[in-house]
């Protein structure tokens, strides 16, 4: 754990150096990491970094980071009744959703537990849903099982669509140099169909790292050409454009206050426990699967636990799975770290998400965290977002 924390510290220590994203070389040596279930043969391999994680992080903050989306899955929902059908299924209000619109939502089971975290983007002829790769097949199968007489077809299209994402202050500028229709992404939660190097690419904006972010869906066979075209277009920009791996994105999304399904909360979590309730759940819409549990929790009770943001009071960085205790010596365990990062935008302060017992999740609460073979004190923050300029 100490070695892992030291590597994370080193990966961002130089991120504030001016010009780093421009001058750090693009190295061919990729550090790979598994993503997915505990069973090694069920995981996918994704890039942890591409030789310079600090430069990759700097590209997110000053230009554009281009990230492979092998860890993301895609559902395709077609048919004239698709919006009305999904309105009865998911937690977000889809009323008025038309071509170009995007919503964030949860898909729950009958017990109100989160089965998938969804980004729903309507492109007019069909809707594409971004999900974690390991929730795609089950979500498609379960949703399709609720279709009776409606004109709706739900399929797991993960194999048909390659995935990429752009994260960075200049992400929209980059896309705008390729296709003028990218101007439709000027606000968050919008989508548009583009052409990149003559190939169809569906783009949906979702800001996860405190800067513009765009999810890209494209036919699997053209992914290399689209990737090359993005980097070629980036070479003409003043801002740095470079490939990035998980480590750089992870630091930026923790700073930006974005927890991830199957990373920071799982299939046993209730919406009230995720820190994403206000962004994913509407209390003004009609019935949906699991709604009774969600409504009862909202009106009558409190969850047993909740996801919170912690800021350490030392330079010791806890890693995922580290135990959180009451501040008092020998204090009982009250939760677990789910993600952590040294935050360059906060002077490399050590920050983290943690799932804590509800009572210990109040802003200002002080706790003790196991970190790098020792203990450090941490303080619960008011919101999940560590960056200035809004709550998450």
Measured CA to CA, the distance from residue 176 to residue 179 in angstroms comes to 5
pLDDT bucket at 301, cuts 50 / 70 / 90: confident
Per-residue DSSP letters for 262-322?
TTTB-TT--GGGSS-HHHH--SSS---TTHHHHHHHHHH---SEEEEEEEESSS----TT-
Q: Output the CATH code of domain 304-383.
A: 2.40.30.110
Residue 328 has pLDDT above 60, yes or no: yes
Q: Contact, 71 vs 46, CB < 8 A?
A: yes
Beta strand pairing status for 114-122 and 127-132?
Answer: antiparallel
The reply to whether 1-302 and 304-383 are identical in fold is no
Q: Could you report the per-residue pLDDT of 167-194, keeping only the tens digit for each?
A: 999 999 999 999 999 999 999 999 999 9
311, two tokens: 């800021």
The helices-and-strands tally (H runs, E runs) of the chain is 10, 19
**12 SS3 class:** helix
What's the whole-number mean pLDDT along residues 87-92? 98
**Predicted confidence (pLDDT) at residue 11 exceeds the cutoff of 60:** no
Q: 3-state class of 224 per DSSP?
A: helix
Q: Above 90 in pLDDT, residue 19?
A: no
Of 311, 313, 316, 307, the C-alpha closest to 360 is 307
How do the domains of the chain map onto residue ranges? 1-302, 304-383
CB of 271 within 8 A of CB of 81? no
Those residues whose C-beta lies under 8 Å from the C-beta of residue 1, and which sit 6 or more positions away, are 319, 322, 371, 372, 373
- How much is the pTM? 0.92
Tokens standing for 263?
């990373």
Tell me the CATH number for domain 1-302: 3.30.1360.120
The number of residues in the chain equals: 392
Residue appearing with tokens 């302060």: 349
Q: What is the CA radius of gyration of the chain?
A: 21
User: In this predicted structure, which of 27-36, 112-121, 254-263, 356-365 has the lowest mean pLDDT?
Assistant: 27-36
Alpha carbon distance 241, 130 (integer Å): 24
* Per-residue pLDDT at 40: 66
Model confidence band, residue 18 (pLDDT cutoffs 50, 70, 90): very low
The confidence band for 2, taking pLDDT boundaries of 50, 70 and 90, is: very low
CA–CA gap between residue 344 and residue 369 (Å, rounded): 21
What would the mean pLDDT of 6-25 be, rounded to a whole number? 47
β strands within the chain, DSSP E? 31-35, 44-49, 64-68, 72-78, 102-108, 114-122, 127-132, 153-156, 161-167, 191-196, 199-205, 213-219, 241-244, 305-312, 323-326, 333-343, 349-357, 366-371, 374-380
Res. 13 pLDDT band, cuts 50 70 90: very low
Beta pairing partners, 217: 163, 202
pLDDT at 329 over 80: no
């Amino acid at each position: 754990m100490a070695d892992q924390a030291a590597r994370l510290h080193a990966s961002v220590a130089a991120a504030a150096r001016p010009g780093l994203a421009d001058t750090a070389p693009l190295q061919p040596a990729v550090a790979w990491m598994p993503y997915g279930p505990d069973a090694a043969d069920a995981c996918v391999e994704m890039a942890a970094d591409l030789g310079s994680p600090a430069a990759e992080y700097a590209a997110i903050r000053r230009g554009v980071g281009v990230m492979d989306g092998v860890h993301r899955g895609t559902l395709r929902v077609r048919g004239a009744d698709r919006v009305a059908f999904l309105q009865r299924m998911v937690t977000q209000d889809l009323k008025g959703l038309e071509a170009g619109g995007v919503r964030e939502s949860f898909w729950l089971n009958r017990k109100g537990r989160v089965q998938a975290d969804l980004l729903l983007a309507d492109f007019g002829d069909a809707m594409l849903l971004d999900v974690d790769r390991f929730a795609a097949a089950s979500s498609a199968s379960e949703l399709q099982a609720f279709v009776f007489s409606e004109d709706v077809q739900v399929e797991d299209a993960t194999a048909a669509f390659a995935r990429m994402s752009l994260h960075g202050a200049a992400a929209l500028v980059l896309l705008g140099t390729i296709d003028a229709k990218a101007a439709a992404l000027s606000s968050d939660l919008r989508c548009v169909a583009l052409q990149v190097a003559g190939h169809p690419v569906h783009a949906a904006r979702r800001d996860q790292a405190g800067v513009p972010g765009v999810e890209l869906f494209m036919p699997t066979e053209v992914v290399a050409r689209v990737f090359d075209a993005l980097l070629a277009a980036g070479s003409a920009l003043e801002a740095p454009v470079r490939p990035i791996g998980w480590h750089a994105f992870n630091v930026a999304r923790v700073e930006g206050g974005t927890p991830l399904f199957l990373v920071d909360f799982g299939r046993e979590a209730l919406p009230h426990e995720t820190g994403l309730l206000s962004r994913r759940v509407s209390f003004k819409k009609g019935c949906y699967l699991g709604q009774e549990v969600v409504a009862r929790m909202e009106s009558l009770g409190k969850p047993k636990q909740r996801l919170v943001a912690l800021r350490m009071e030392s330079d010791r960085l806890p890693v995922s799975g580290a135990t959180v205790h009451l501040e008092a010596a020998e204090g009982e365990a009250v939760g677990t770290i789910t993600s952590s990062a040294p935050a360059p935008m906060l002077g490399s302060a050590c920050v983290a998400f943690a799932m804590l017992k509800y009572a210990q999740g109040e802003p200002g609460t002080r706790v003790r965290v196991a970190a790098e073979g020792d203990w450090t004190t941490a303080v619960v923050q008011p919101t999940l977002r560590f960056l200035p300029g809004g709550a998450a």
